[in-house]
Homo-oligomer: A and B are copies of this chain.
Amino acid sequence: MDIATVIGLVAAFGLVVWGIMLGGSLSQFWDAPSAAIVVGGTVAVLLICFPLAKVMGLFKILQKTLFATPQDPSAVIEKMVRYAERARREGMLALEEESEEEPDAFLRKGLRLAVDGTDPQLLEKILETDIGQIESRHKGGKSILDAGGTFAPAFGMIGTLIGLVNMLAALEDPSSIGAGMATALITTFYGAVLANAVFLPLSSKLEVRSAEEILVKEMIIDGIMAIQSGDSPRIVEEKLKSFLSPTQRQLVEDGKQQAA
């Protein structure tokens, strides 16, 4: 679970709610028709922008990339080294049963292809194609979030224009100006919060997480190919550690010394 995303969302909305309650009541800021115009209008426009299936798929992408625990690269290295040791001792076929119990679908598929004796080049191409598909799915999700970040404030402004025109046209009662104006501004407020506390930040996090997920998958491909070519566990580890930053590399080594 990506704890920073949750903390950030709770803190951002908490601060906004707290700011509201300092100077007024929360009920002044809840207006169902305004919410319907901004949220509904943004969703409607996203349906014009993108095919239905892609908009529906956004939640699945967000769930997978933001709320699933990202794989720890050092844990993946450890696992690959263990597989390399077993393959060295008992041969590739010994990995067959391991591959069935492996929880990560991508690694499982790679192991099975390796155990089946798939040609290394073909194996690499198949797994790279899978990564390409994942990457393009993430980019599609990011472009939907970015469009949300553009159209939510636009519908906020459209809602405010509707409120202003209605208020101005009924200006006979000057005492109602304040209330009318307040309601009119609420859609702008909704649009600004939606864009700046939801759509745009999630788009940024999706990009970062996608890069991390793809890095781990690239590590897995390199690891499987090293195991298949009969590299020693030591060399498999060296190869995979070149993917890590110095800090991460330090962590892996500390972990090993602790274990030793």
Q: Residues of A with Cβ closer than 8 Å to B?
A: 2-5, 7-9, 11-12, 15-16, 18-20, 22-24, 28-29, 33, 36-37, 40-41, 43-52, 54-55, 129-130, 133, 137, 147, 150-151, 154-155, 157-159, 161-171, 175, 177-179, 181-183, 185-186, 188-189, 192-193, 195-197, 200-202, 204-205, 208, 242, 245-246
Separation of A148 and B18 alpha carbons in the complex (Å) = 21
Evaluate contact between A168 and B182: CB separation under 8 angstroms. yes
Evaluate contact between A192 and B44: CB separation under 8 angstroms. no
The count of identical subunits is 5
Evaluate contact between A16 and B201: CB separation under 8 angstroms. no
Evaluate contact between B205 and A50: CB separation under 8 angstroms. yes
A13 nearest CB neighbor, chain B only: B44
Separation of A52 and B202 alpha carbons in the complex (Å) = 14
Q: Is the interface of A mostly helix, strand, loop or mixed?
A: helix
A181 nearest CB neighbor, chain B only: B168
Known: A15-B37, A20-B166. 20 other contacts (CB 8 A): A4-B51, A7-B44, A8-B48, A11-B43, A11-B47, A15-B36, A15-B44, A19-B36, A19-B159, A24-B165, A28-B165, A28-B169, A41-B197, A51-B205, A137-B245, A147-B204, A151-B201, A161-B185, A169-B182, A171-B178
Using A12-B45, A47-B4, A48-B201 as known contacts, say yes or no to A23 and B208 having CB atoms under 8 A apart: no
A176 nearest CB neighbor, chain B only: B171
Separation of A47 and B10 alpha carbons in the complex (Å) = 11
- For this complex, 21 residue pairs linking A to B, each with C-beta atoms less than 8 Å apart, are A4-B47, A4-B51, A5-B47, A9-B44, A11-B43, A11-B47, A12-B48, A15-B36, A23-B166, A24-B166, A45-B197, A48-B202, A49-B200, A49-B205, A133-B246, A151-B196, A151-B200, A154-B196, A164-B185, A165-B185, A169-B179
Separation of A5 and B51 alpha carbons in the complex (Å) = 8
Evaluate contact between B154 and A23: CB separation under 8 angstroms. no
Evaluate contact between B192 and A154: CB separation under 8 angstroms. yes
The 9 closest A-B pairs by CB, nearest first: A171-B178, A8-B47, A48-B201, A8-B48, A11-B44, A24-B166, A49-B204, A12-B44, A168-B182
